[in-house]
Chains A and B, each alone.
Chain A
Amino acid sequence: MPPRALTRERDVREAYAAHASELYGFAMRSLGDSGLAEEAVQETFVRAWRAGDRFDPQIGSLRTWLFAILRNVVIDLGRARAIRPAVADGGVEPSVEPLDEALLAWQVEEAMRRIGDDHRRILIETYYRGRPYAEVARELGVPEGTVKSRVYYGLRALRVALEEMGYEG
């Protein structure tokens, strides 16, 4: 018989310690409200506990499973509180970010938080702020070639961070 994912209180406590921070981070990003984000995290663990015997550790990690549950909880919470004007068939509300994209965005942001300050800074300066390499090199007091190689190591670090978080693709 496959083990239940969250059988007793200690399992819930361990799963919470391991994953709640990430789950809350994504819930906050999607819902934009700390009260709703808390509710989302609570509901995720409750649903996970209820459905414990449907979790097969051979198929995927507990973390991935919890995120899948959270995704549905966020959709439900979003629906419940939505007071939106009717949108014409085929129309897309411009302010609503598709949930899967939000999850990807959150993963990249979380990965950025995990790589070192230097890696993060170089990617922010050269990519997000689009500053010329020559300018960044002058500011850091290093050759341009060094800036380029730091970008290389920064992207590699980002890739490792994403893989560690279970990102596939």
Chain B
Amino acid sequence: MRAERCREWRPLLGAHALGQLSPDEQAGLEAHIEGCPDCREELDALASVARLLPLADPERFETAPALPPALAGRVVGRIAAERRTAQRRRWGFRIGLGGAVAAATATLAIVLLPGGGGPQPSQRIEFAGLPPGMEITATLKPHAFGTEIEMYVKGVRSGTLCRVFLRAASGSRLPAGSFRYRWGEEADAVLTSALDLSRTRTIGVRVGNRTFVAPVSTDQTASSTQRDQTAASGRKIEEAST
């Protein structure tokens, strides 16, 4: 019965692929394989793996070099710097309506320090209580010059003017720049404010004629769950004037 013979011979296929069977066993196995396409197919697969074994260095089998934890931040920082360079190049060509944005990028070019970030961690804030289909996410990063704000907006009409501001603990409100939401534009808008992240209590976005606010966490160990719960109290404010 072929199945029985396969059961008997199959476990020897590995040793055979490594050339480690005795001459008798080898002869017996090869005789079986001649009449068994399944075992032949498996032997071919194991043989192709066996051919790779001599390439490897067994000294390296136990541990792989550990990924340095700080590398992640550096990679992300490098990409962010790349994007700012690309944006500056692109937005620099816009005139007229894009004037305010061009001014903001000019500020970025002068003030931004390489690397960025300090002991205080960045924060990612998802606005809650928005109209259906709308999404606003702000990522705030501390820098020596103040705070970098990366804005992601979705679900508003293309061309809508968006204006961002931060509110300090003292209550004063500092503008953080503006941008136009364009449908199909994949890049996030990157803005800056002179207000330190540590002194920021609220971030607000005026989208068209509606304003949305979200609290900024002051507790550096706050979990994202906690932040989401406090953000749920974010409310829509109709403002008569800015």
Chain A residues engaging chain B, CB cutoff 8 angstroms: 4, 6-9, 12-13, 16, 20-21, 24-25, 28-29, 34, 37-38, 41-42, 45-46, 49-50, 101, 104-105, 107-110, 112-113, 120, 123-124, 126-128, 133, 145, 148-149, 151-156, 158-159, 162, 169
Contact = CB atoms under 8 A, between A and B. Distances in A.
Given A45-B79, A159-B46, A29 B14 contact: no
Interface string B1-33: 000000000111111011011000000000000
Contact of B71 (A20, A107, A120): A20
Contacts of A7: 186-187
Contacts of A4: 186
A158 B49 contact: yes
B45 interface: yes
Interface of B: 10-15, 17-18, 20-21, 45-46, 48-50, 52-53, 55-58, 60-65, 67-68, 71-72, 74-76, 78-80, 82-83, 139, 150, 152, 186-188
A152 B64 contact: no
B97 to A, nearest CB: 24
Nearest to B46: A155
Contacts of B67: 20-21, 24
A163 B78 CA distance: 33
Contacts, number: 135
Given A151-B15, A155-B17, A49 B79 contact: yes
**For A9, A34, A45, A105, which residue has the most chain B Cβ atoms within 10 angstroms?**
A9
12 contacts: A7-B186, A13-B72, A16-B72, A24-B68, A42-B78, A109-B64, A112-B61, A133-B20, A148-B14, A151-B20, A152-B46, A155-B46
**For B21, B71, B83, which residue has the most chain A Cβ atoms within 10 angstroms?**
B71
A38 B58 contact: no
Contacts of A120: 61
Contacts of B65: 24-25, 28-29, 34, 37
Contacts of B50: 155
Nearest to A52: B186
A9 B80 contact: yes
B183 to A, nearest CB: 13
